Structure 1
Amino acid sequence: MESQQTAKIAISQVLKDYYFKGIYEGDTSLLIEVYHPGTLLFGDVKGEPYAKTLAAYLAGVAQRQSPRDSGKPFKGDILAIKVVQSIALAEVKVKMYEFNYHEFLSFHKIEGKWLIVNKMIADVKP
């Protein structure tokens, strides 16, 4: 069994190399690598309820101008990662466009890969 520290390092790499990079570049091929196909996304954006399937989320990413191409600030920060055996929770912040997202990403290690299985977001004041 993987140690907690090894798992945290692996999840950090997934977040940096796939999640943040995929969002910043608008690269859905990177994002597909980190999401389980059944992932659901919930939260609130600008005070409105937010609920999407992974397919709807990825379609939105593919159709919008990427943060990289917009020239607007983008920043992804890992606040915390908690691991219990094959499950984990990452708390992250993502600054993009006019949004400041506080996110909780649930991970599960499936077939040797840490995958996001649920994403919850809140658009918060900076």
Structure 2
Amino acid sequence: MKKFAILIALMFCVTSGLKAQNNIKMENQQEDVLAITDAVENCYFKGIYEGDVILLGSIFNPGTLVYGDVKGQPYFKTVDLYLEGVKNRQSPKDSGKPFKGEILNIKVVNSIAVAEINVKMYDFNYRDFLSFHKINGKWLIVNKMLTDLSK
């Protein structure tokens, strides 16, 4: 009977520890989602809207690639070429045309994440899938895929 009581006590301790670990993991995941949300809203959307390539570039890891299609045509650029394009176009802010950035979904698994977002600007309605990696404690875009949903 004594062995049985010890076994029950051990099982209780182990399962309680697992619950605590799961709670910590959930809290960390929520913190990561908030950090990614902040980066998308305050660097990605704001950088695109204002044409601020320094701010926008701060969320990209060097060497990031951008793939997709725009108006049915294949699209590929390095992050440097993408930022150069942003730099050399009139910003949505300066154009006076509507701009709307919306986060649709963020999924985090350990040190990687994917954000699905929608960006309406000029005559485009982009659906972006941004792949993030947590590098040195900071969430950075390591890949961008986009498609133009406009008709």
The higher-RCO structure (CA 8 Å, 6+ apart) is 1
Mapped contact 2:125–2:149 kept (Cα < 8 A): yes
- Which secondary structure does the structure 2 equivalent of 1:44 belong to? strand
Give the letter aligned to residue 107 of structure 1: F
- Structure 1's consecutive aligned runs of 4 or more residues displaced over 2 angstroms after TM superposition are none
Give the letter aligned to residue 79 of structure 2: L
Number of positions where the alignment pairs a residue of Structure 1 with one of Structure 2: 126
- Which secondary structure does the structure 2 equivalent of 1:72 belong to? coil
2:94 matched to which residue of 1? 69
1:35-50 aligned at under 5 Å gives the runs 35-50=60-75
How far off is 1:38 after superposition?
0.9
Q: Which of the two has greater strand per residue?
A: 1
Tell me which structure has the larger Cα radius of gyration: 2
Give the letter aligned to residue 46 of structure 2: K
Return the TM-score normalized by structure 2: 0.81
1:110 matched to which residue of 2? 135
How far off is 1:125 after superposition?
2.9
> Which deviations, in whole Å up to 9, do the C-alpha atoms of 1:19-48 show, x marking residues without a partner?
000000000010111000110000000000
1:3-82 aligned at under 5 Å gives the runs 3-82=28-107
Return the TM-score normalized by structure 1: 0.97
Distance in 1, matches of 2:68 and 2:58, equals: 22
Q: Which runs of 5+ in 2 are unaligned?
A: 1-24
Distance in 1, matches of 2:150 and 2:75, equals: 17
How far off is 1:80 after superposition?
0.2
RMSD over aligned Cα atoms: 1.1
**Correspondence 1:83 to 2:103:** no
Give the letter aligned to residue 75 of structure 1: K
Q: Which runs of 5+ in 1 are unaligned?
A: none
